[in-house]
């Protein structure tokens, strides 16, 4: 991808800021349809997150491992003075599906980001996204077997972080004694 000239960068930044302002105003007033969602890539698949459930998106910080935790629990990160638990959501979901995909030792690439849960969910947690695809308009997508397909043919799966934050298995990061 060719680098954008300064005028194009300013235009993209302006568009992003306008969308962000629109989203914040809709969240404050409770008006508007909640059709904008955040597109992320996890484990090679594309997911859509409700903007009210997603918190910050930051470059992957150094992680401090925590002994005796599940293999999908990567450790703790310091995000602006707050400790946040970090999970490998792809590995967690593969375990849920009893899939044995090997991605041990897979270091996050340069496009990887840490996406935190919104503070309203009450869980100081985040997950690694291989890539953040930005805002998506779900209303412009076609439904297909519980998923959505965009105009480019990409398949998106809705992911409810609120449901994940209440999942007993997700909340049990410690290893169970055998």
* β 45-50/54-59 pair status: unpaired
Which residues make beta-bridge pairs with 42? 45
Q: What H or E segment, with its residue span, contains residue 9?
A: helix 6-29
Dist. CA 36–CA 137, nearest whole Å: 5
- Cα–Cα nearest to 173, from 117, 106, 118, 123: 123
Q: Does pLDDT of 105 surpass 50?
A: no
3-state SS assignment for residue 102: coil
Once rounded to an integer, what is the mean pLDDT over residues 154-171?
96
Who has greater pLDDT, 99 or 132? 132
Domain edges within the chain: 1-32, 35-171
Who has greater pLDDT, 156 or 95? 156
Mean pLDDT of the chain: 85
For residue 114, the model assigns a pLDDT of 97
**Which of the residue ranges 79-83, 133-137, 173-177 would you say has the lowest mean pLDDT?**
173-177
For residue 6, the model assigns a pLDDT of 79
Q: Does pLDDT of 149 surpass 70?
A: yes
Once rounded to an integer, what is the mean pLDDT over residues 128-144?
93
Query: CATH says 35-171 is which class?
Result: mainly beta
The torsion defined by the Cα of 82, 46, 94 and 49, in degrees rounded to 10, comes to 40
Confidence of residue 109 (pLDDT cuts 50, 70, 90): confident
Once rounded to an integer, what is the mean pLDDT over residues 2-20?
70
Who has greater pLDDT, 178 or 75? 75
For residue 34, the model assigns a pLDDT of 47
**Which of the residue ranges 25-29, 30-34, 46-50, 65-69 would you say has the lowest mean pLDDT?**
30-34
Q: What pTM was estimated for this model as a whole?
A: 0.76
Dist. CA 174–CA 103, nearest whole Å: 21
DSSP, res 62: P
- 131-137: strand order across its sheet: 131-137, 36-42, 45-50, 155-159, 147-149, 142-144
Query: Could you tell me if 114 and 86 are in contact, meaning their C-beta atoms sit under 8 angstroms apart?
Result: yes
């Amino acid at each position: 991808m060719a680098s954008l000239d300064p005028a194009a960068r300013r235009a993209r930044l302006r568009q992003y800021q306008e969308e962000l302002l629109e989203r914040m105003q809709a969240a404050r007033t409770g008006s508007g349809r909640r059709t904008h969602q955040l597109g992320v890539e996890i484990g090679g698949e594309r997911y859509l997150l409700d903007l009210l459930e997603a918190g910050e998106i930051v470059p992957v910080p150094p992680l401090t491992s925590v002994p005796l935790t599940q293999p999908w629990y990567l450790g703790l990160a310091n995000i602006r003075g707050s400790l946040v638990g970090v999970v490998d959501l792809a590995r967690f979901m593969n375990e849920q599906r009893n899939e044995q995909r090997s991605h041990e030792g897979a270091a996050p690439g340069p496009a990887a980001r840490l996406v935190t849960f919104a503070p309203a969910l009450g869980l100081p947690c985040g997950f690694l996204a291989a890539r953040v695809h930005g805002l998506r308009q779900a209303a412009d997508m076609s439904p297909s077997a519980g998923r959505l397909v965009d105009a480019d043919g990409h398949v998106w799966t809705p992911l409810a972080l609120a449901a994940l934050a209440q999942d007993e298995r997700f909340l049990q990061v410690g290893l169970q004694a055998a």
